[in-house]
């Protein structure tokens, strides 16, 4: 949309929406169907997963998992973009699997990687959970956005 800025060496997927004045630093990767709210700024080298939603006027310094919903001056993970999943007709079973996997992934005393391994063992047949885990296991230079 109006005055969106995409800096050098960015990769922007298909059906991505950059709302008015959204700004991407260099080397940002945004996967398909992500929505970046107006007046948001994404730090260089950040990855935004597929179907993620960034609220308006947010500063994104860390990677946002696929289907994640983040907002805030220094963005924090608020949950999942369930509305977007429903609008895109994701199966109900996949939505429920992802909700449960999200709870496992972001709570507990284990390390983040240990929790990711637990999620992989618990939901081996869920394609959306697999896509989140593949994103987590991919290369990151900024770490992952976490809930408060």
31, 11 contact by CB (below 8 A): no
50, 13 contact by CB (below 8 A): yes
How far from chain centre, in Å, is Cα 13?
A: 13
57, 75 contact by CB (below 8 A): no
9 is catalytic: yes
56 is catalytic: no
Q: Please identify which of the residues 9, 96, 138, 143 carries the catalytic annotation.
A: 9
Structure tokens, 34: 């992500």
**Cα-atom radius of gyration of the chain, to the nearest Å?**
15
- Residue the block writes with tokens 């950040």: 46
96 is catalytic: no
24, burial (CB in 10 Å: exposed 0-12, middle 13-18, buried 19+): buried
Q: Please identify which of the residues 5, 8, 32, 108 carries the catalytic annotation.
A: 8
Q: Which residues are tagged catalytic?
A: 8-9, 26
């Amino acid at each position: 949309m109006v005055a969106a800025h995409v800096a050098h060496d960015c990769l922007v997927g298909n059906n991505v929406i950059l709302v008015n004045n959204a700004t991407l630093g260099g080397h940002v990767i945004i996967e398909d169907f992500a929505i970046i709210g107006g007046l948001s700024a994404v730090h260089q080298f950040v990855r935004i997963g597929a179907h993620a939603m960034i609220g308006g006027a947010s500063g994104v310094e860390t990677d946002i998992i696929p289907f994640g919903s983040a907002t805030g001056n220094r963005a924090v993970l608020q949950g999942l973009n369930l509305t977007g999943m429903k609008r895109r007709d994701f199966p109900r079973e996949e939505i429920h699997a992802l909700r449960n996997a999200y709870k496992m992934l972001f709570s507990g005393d284990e390390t983040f990687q240990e929790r990711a391994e637990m999620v992989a063992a618990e939901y081996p047949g869920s394609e959306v959970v697999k896509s989140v885990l593949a994103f987590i296991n991919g290369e990151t230079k900024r770490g992952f956005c976490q809930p408060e």
